[in-house]
A and B are shown apart, each in its own frame.
Chain A
Amino acid sequence: MAIVDTGDVGLHVQRLTGARPTAHGVRAAAPDATVVLLHGLLTDSLASYYFTVAPAFAAAGLDVVMYDHRGHGRSGRPERGYTLGAFVDDLDALLDRLGIRNPVHLVGNSYGGTVAFDYALRRPERVAAMVVIESEPATPSWAVKIAGLLERVRHEMSVNEDAALDWIAAHHGGHTARLAKSAGRLVRDTTLAADIPASAVLDDDDVRAIRCPVLALYGADSDLAAQAPRMRSLLPHCATESFPGHRHSVLVEAPGRVRDLVLDWVGRHPRPAGDRAVQVR
């Protein structure tokens, strides 16, 4: 198990480079393309990628980097320091520590996409393109919504954890209940629930300034689906896809279609336009 110390926190990293030559000796995707997979909040971890799309990305010739966010999975769990900026710093430091200098492709699920939007705004030169799954940038309305969600989780897991876990086990299965128990510890033992809603937010001009190509995937029955037209109008280069019959859990429920859309998006955006000139010497 690889732990990468950013200087601030130890991050659990899994990297797959399962590139296999095809019959003709060429790889299916753009060589040297690195895809960084960012998971969501609380009950999520890199396992949501490891057991769904990650092996297929590696088999397609991509360099696949997955890591657990601070406080999640097998990464370090500091008591404080959970604003969105801290998660963005972690990504930046991780790319430095791994020696990844070429622009990367970001894939962000839920809050992982929120991290990706912020990173693309802050470090445009490091992001070739991104795919966000059931996600939104850190807007003021996002902050209100996430504050309500985190407070509800913190309350339910503090006041009557056993009843909450029983309900989750009955409706979503034992595994989800175990994940919820870990999430309960995270919101009780750290400042995450207060820090994330207090993060610096983006206004419309900030979102317009995210220049990299963005593919946004939505569950057709999710509350976020209504944001698709707005994202297409604000972001300079944005396409959206809808998953009929799905709500928020698009990644684990429809991994085949997510995989195909990501591989297509990565293949179409090998590196930022401005970077190509640098490559010609």
Chain B
Amino acid sequence: MTTIRPSGSAPTGSVRLDEAAVLAELTGMIGQVLDGYELDDTEITMETRFGRDLELESIDLVTLAGLLQDRYGSTVNFAEFVASMELEEIIGLSVGRLVEHVCLCLKAEGRD
């Protein structure tokens, strides 16, 4: 199951409330992945990219996937989300793409 979405994600300023909540949670998880200190001066938005902006390595995204699973259980399957993507594409993902995916999964589960 892969949902194809436009890569642009939501424009700044029009982040929906549920997305804002998920973005806040993801920001916390990214902080954990980076051990906190590296995020001091970086505001994470829907447009922030894992590789280019946060300098995450692929192994960091594995850790993030684990944190997503701890938080949302099997409702959100990161590995499945990225299954059809190439490694470079995954590294190039924006935080917004993942937020949208999490929101869709939660909605599908009826937990929205």
Which chain A residues have a beta carbon within 8 Å of chain B's beta carbons?
1, 14, 16, 45-48, 50-52, 54-56, 68, 73-74, 173-175, 178-179, 182, 252
**Residues A173 and B88 in contact, CB atoms below 8 Å apart:** yes
**Residues A51 and B51 in contact, CB atoms below 8 Å apart:** no
**Residues A46 and B59 in contact, CB atoms below 8 Å apart:** yes
Partner of A50, one of B51, B79, B85, B86: B79
B1 to chain A, nearest CB (A): 11
**Residues A48 and B58 in contact, CB atoms below 8 Å apart:** yes
Q: Which residues of A contact B57 (CB under 8 A)?
A: 45, 47, 175, 178-179, 182
Cβ contacts B80-112/A at 8 Å (1 or 0 each): 101101111011000000000000000000000
Q: List 16 A-B contacts (CB under 8 A).
A: A14-B66, A45-B62, A46-B59, A47-B57, A47-B59, A47-B62, A50-B58, A50-B79, A51-B79, A51-B85, A52-B87, A55-B83, A68-B59, A73-B59, A174-B51, A174-B55
Q: Which residues of B contact A45 (CB under 8 A)?
A: 57-59, 62
Q: Which residues of A contact B71 (CB under 8 A)?
A: none
Nearest residue, chain A, Cβ from B57:
A178
Q: Which residues of B contact A74 (CB under 8 A)?
A: 59, 62-63
Q: Which residues of A contact B59 (CB under 8 A)?
A: 45-47, 68, 73-74
Q: Which residues of A contact B91 (CB under 8 A)?
A: 175
B51 to chain A, nearest CB (A): 5
**Residues B55 and A51 in contact, CB atoms below 8 Å apart:** no
**Residues B88 and A175 in contact, CB atoms below 8 Å apart:** yes
Partner of B79, one of A55, A173, A182: A55
Cβ contacts B40-60/A at 8 Å (1 or 0 each): 000000000001100101110
Shortest 4 CB-CB contacts between residues of A and residues of B: A47-B58, A45-B59, A73-B59, A55-B79
Q: With A16-B79, A174-B51, A175-B58 known to touch, is A51 a contact of B87 (CB < 8 Å)?
A: yes
Q: What is the CA–CA distance of A8 and B25 in the complex, to the nearest angstrom?
A: 35
Q: Which residues of A contact B52 (CB under 8 A)?
A: 174
Q: Which residues of A contact B80 (CB under 8 A)?
A: 55
Other than the given A47-B62, A73-B62, 4 more pairs (CB < 8 A) read A1-B66, A47-B87, A51-B79, A178-B55
